[in-house]
Amino acid sequence: MSILINKESKIVVQGITGKAGLFHTKQCRDYGARIVAGVTPGKGGIHVEGIPVFDTMEEAVRITGANVSMIFVPPPGAADAILEACASGIELAICITEGVPIKDMVMAKRVVDDSKTLLVGPNCPGVITPGECKVGIMPGYIHKPGKIGVVSRSGTLTYEAVKQLSDAGLGQSTCVGIGGDPIIGMKFIDVLKRFNDDPDTDGVFMIGEIGGGAEEDAAEWIKKNMKKPVAAFIAGVTAPPGKRMGHAGAIITGGKGKAVDKIEALKNAGVLVAQSPTKMGEAMMAAMKAKKKK
């Protein structure tokens, strides 16, 4: 079983005719994803790589039955693409685009929260259910089917964690990159709830970083609700206050968002926190073993 996407998901790509959109469309399709349509205003009626292109999301969803959107629209138009996805009634929108203006996302997030559409991202690597479906930019070959859920704010660290998990014989049920911007759709808790309810997910690896309070919120939720072992890694232990570290949301402001505070909160919730990015796989294995002994 998986969360969010599977081999039956029907995917429409917003921005399919752009260079990045088309490249990753082909990569996802080669992995096994069912790409049923693309959307680029003004280019409706053409086909790219055998995939029909529509002018609007409404038309694409109505004609093809698509239920998942992958968004590769450039930053100035990405929030509008999210809004159009919501208006179409799509179940899940995954926005890969980096650099979406925060003011645009503030407006879009209000609409998303009042719609039936789940949003992952923006500025994220996407979602993958190993062996079934990939909607995003992650390297599919490092993922192996299994029972460890992965949720992360960092794309690169996700790839490293997944490689370590796969090498350790710990395949993944679903991996979700929630994105590193200040305003995003699904947060840690939203994904953790789904992993907690998924009968085929036995444990979860969580990757956080400095900035914001999402990790502390997740720790509180884990302490009260999580039935499965959780291991984690928090990036940015040595980050100086006030300096953005990579992602737009990875910044310590007003003395809040420090890695040490996040690590402490997770440890207090019973989460096994890896002290180094080279130890993420080991931490997950240790968390699984500790759970079995109880």
Query: Whose CA is closest to 14, among 113, 76, 97?
Result: 97
Rounded CA-CA distance 175/160 in Å is 12
Q: What is the CA radius of gyration of the chain?
A: 19
Catalytic residue among 24, 47, 143, 247: 247
Block residue for tokens 């979700």: 176
**Inter-residue contact 183 to 121 (CB < 8 Å):** no
CB atoms inside a 10 Å sphere around CB 277:
15
Rounded CA-CA distance 42/241 in Å is 46
Q: Is 47 a catalytic residue?
A: no
For residue 122, say if its preceding peptide bond is cis, omega within 30 degrees of 0: yes
Enter the DSSP assignment of 275: S
Rounded CA-CA distance 184/102 in Å is 10
Block residue for tokens 């789904």: 194
Block residue for tokens 């062996």: 131
**CB crowding 57-82: b at 16 or more within 10 Å, else e:** beebbeebebbbbbbbbeeebbbebb
Q: Which residues pair with 120 in a beta bridge?
A: 94
Catalytic annotation, residues: 247
